[in-house]
Structure 1
């Protein structure tokens, strides 16, 4: 679907719709950029920074926040973000809350943190309700993607909860990140970015782990491609799934338009309808 208005500055987008029908898009950069639009395709308008004073987490990167995720729980919106610096494991996932999506209160760290020597990097958090509890997926490179149970309300990690590895690419640089879990029917679908393509992994609840279409475990490098670079569209990633009241499930993501440029601020906002009817999502 074609995007209109401000369709760049969309690195690592997070999408949600307010009850009045206004769509909000959050993205990496400028202390989490906010854009809004009357429809999912736009026209998108820049509204400012979600956390204009920067994060209260005392780490390098607290004024350059990454990879937002936004979820509504009850009457409150929860905005998760990453504090880190490129190539470093000195990282944490923070959270802010709002009742209107325009003004936010920062609560600092969720308790998901990492430093050198950890088997994960604490960035790219995404909240998920699995039917009985809140779960946060996170991670990038190193040991790749993990999950941990969250408290309710989901401001902090559940006391005593341990993280679990849910996806790992054993070869190369372990270039997997940006996990997002979606539920459709009886299946839990794990979407993640494997450079330079967007790939899918999924779990049937009774199997106890994510596997790809061929049955290969995702902790052993399995993964089925949903969307990859094509034509002038390069590196679709930073994705999520949103259940739109009019369109049904849509896959949203950022991508590089090679005709324009590769800079973070030039990353474009992409939207495709996604069909789960066969049991495997197709865009």
Structure 2
């Protein structure tokens, strides 16, 4: 309202300044389609990128910038979870724990709350090496949450692990899990750690990253995944926010002290220039670049169809304990 008397050219200039705070994604060559990516760098220096669709598609490269090459999928044929959607899997999250890689995946259909988070295990990451282990979390129409977008994080000790999940409904929940060899067991302490109280509760894709003695909850907020740039308000499409806590179980707050369970979240990355609707994020530490935020986004110069989602990444610069991108 305060800007209503400003000239149009000045408003445009202010908007340009606001957009300029976000850097463009790092380079990507080769096979760059991805949605809700997970990125891991194996000890031999080979990068693996996992993606929604193709039963969790796997791409590999010798550099984070590519060229990326398709190399198969995590699951072969269908998930062992007997539920609608078990042949088109979503939202991988890959962790390396005591010599084993764990790939979480989601089974659901668009708009449904009948969902499950399953997982598979491997010691190599390669396509064909994964064993489908089945369910960790499920939801139904009577659940307060939707069991998709799973993520595992370490707590304060070697045997303290948490799983977080959720999308829309009452948003983000967390519970303790026990990890014993190839087996992951949900072990209680279920509670909400993120919630957008307004509108249709557009918050999902929680990814918690442990750094030193703090835990950072990165979230995808806003409209996803069908877009019309001519009518969708630019500040209401997918973007990435963060809250943090000194306890893995929360409470999480943003840089202004607003609780993540009350709509809080400091924006890390949003639409700017031709970069549109970034989200589906995660973080990993690279021995070349340091901490890296990865995500998918759309390029307005190409199009906004789901199949045009691209792989994006930026190095994280930590300023006063908060992530900024370079």
TM-score bucket (shorter structure): over 0.9
1: CA distance, partners of 2:42 / 2:248? 34
**Residues 1-283 of structure 1 aligned to structure 2 (within 5 Å):** 1-8=26-33, 10-102=34-126, 103-110=129-136, 112-132=137-157, 133-153=160-180, 155-159=183-187, 161-195=188-222, 196-205=238-247, 208-283=250-325
The answer on whether the counterparts of 2:94 and 2:101 sit within 8 Å (CA) in structure 1 is yes
- Please give the alpha-carbon distance, in whole angstroms, between the structure 2 residues aligned to 1:57 and 1:264: 25
Deviation at 1:131, TM superposition (A): 2.6
- The alignment yields a C-alpha RMSD, in angstroms, of 1.4
Structure 1: where are the runs of 5+ without partners? none
1:117-152: CA deviation from partner (whole Å, max 9, x where unpaired) = 211000000111123211111000000011111112
* CA shift for structure 1 position 207: 9.9
Give the Cα separation in 1 of the matches to 2:96 and 2:62.
Answer: 19
The answer to whether the Cα contact below 8 Å between 1:148 and 1:157 also exists between their aligned partners in 2 is: no
State the distance in 1 between where 2:75 and 2:250 align: 38
TM-score by length of 2: 0.83
In structure 1, the residue matched to 2:233 is: none
> What is the rounded CA distance, in whole Å, between the counterparts of 2:161 and 2:307 in structure 1?
32
Mapped to 2, the partners of 1:190 and 1:28 lie a distance apart of 21
For 1:271 and 1:207, the matched residues in 2 are separated by 27
The CA deviation at 1:206 is: 9.9
Contact 2:193/2:250, CA 8 A, preserved across alignment: no
How far apart are residue 5 of structure 1 and its match? 1.2
TM-score by length of 1: 0.96
Query: Structure 2: how far apart are the matches of 1:36 and 1:207?
Result: 34
Structure 1 residue 205, shift from structure 2 partner: 3.1
| Residue aligned with 1:30, SS | coil
**CA deviations over 1:232-259 (Å, ceiling 9, x no partner):** 1111100001110111101000001122
* Number of matched pairs: 280
Secondary structure of 2:261's aligned partner: helix
- Alignment check: 8 A CA contact 1:256 1:262 kept: yes
**For residues 7 and 123 of structure 1, what CA distance do their matches in structure 2 show?**
24
Q: Which 5+ residue runs of structure 2 have no aligned equivalent? A: 1-25, 223-237
TM-aligned CA deviation for residue 19 of structure 1 = 1.3
User: How many Å apart are 1:74 and its aligned residue?
Assistant: 1.4
Give the match's secondary structure for 1:275: strand
Contact 1:29/1:64 (<8 A) preserved: yes
